Amino acid sequence: MGTAVAAGQITQPEAPTELTSGNYQPINGSGRFHWFMQNTVGPTSLGAGLFTAAVGTARNRPVEYGPHWDGFGKRYGMRLTGVSTGNAMEASLGAIWGEDPRYFRLVNAPFKERVGSVVKMTFLAHNRFGNVVPAYARYVSTPSNNFLSNTWRADSEATNRAAALRTLWGFLGLMGRNAFEEFWPDVRHSVFHRQH
């Protein structure tokens, strides 16, 4: 995965793109915008927001929002502001030095290699030449977003410790999203294939 792949035939993706040797195409401006929108207000992101807001409401964390529908809405909105800020930072910073934030599936690779890709690509990204490099824009945007959001969060969550934990959860959440993008199409195909 560390070798360069030449520009080829794939277009900017509407969904996670399968990456094979020789078919990498650098992300363009519209591709970055699509990535930002999909990872901010796409179904997977909004669904994750519903889940985390529900858990936070059930646990009444942060306590300032309360354990009711109004609190659920505040938690959902807080997550959405954080996700949108972080994604905007990653997309714009990455554009400066050609870092590609997209995750590419390894469909025909062995299972162990695909799991390895899920983990590695949480911390790595492709550059404009198709080389796998450290995801510097992500390293900057994830903690920056979480510490910046302390300025508008409830007092109990506006601490350095809470921001550091949110940064850790941000990387773990990305790993989960990578796993979903890598394996969900296979699960969906298997389920729908059996129904026919």
Has residue 37 been placed in a domain?
A: yes
Has residue 93 been placed in a domain?
A: yes
Cα distances (angstroms) measured from residue 162 to each of 36, 84, 180: 25, 19, 26
Has residue 11 been placed in a domain?
A: no
Spatial neighbors of 167 by CB under 8 A, at least 6 apart, are 142, 143, 146, 147
Q: What is the pLDDT of residues 44-82, one digit of tens each?
A: 999 999 999 999 999 999 999 999 999 999 999 999 999
Q: Global pTM?
A: 0.83
Q: What is the pLDDT of residues 91-106, one digit of tens each?
A: 999 999 999 999 999 9
Residue-range definition of the domain harbouring residue 133: 17-195
Has residue 7 been placed in a domain?
A: no
Q: What pLDDT is attached to residue 11?
A: 39
- How many independent structural domains does the chain possess? 1
Has residue 129 been placed in a domain?
A: yes
Residue 51, phi then psi, degrees to nearest 5 = -65, -50
- Paired sense of beta strands 17-18 and 132-134, if any: unpaired
Has residue 36 been placed in a domain?
A: yes
Has residue 2 been placed in a domain?
A: no
- Paired sense of beta strands 124-126 and 17-18, if any: unpaired
Q: Chain-wide mean pLDDT for the chain?
A: 89
Has residue 5 been placed in a domain?
A: no
CB 78 within 8 A of CB 153: yes
Q: What is the pLDDT of residues 3-53, one digit of tens each?
A: 333 333 333 444 445 665 567 899 999 999 999 999 999 999 999 999 999
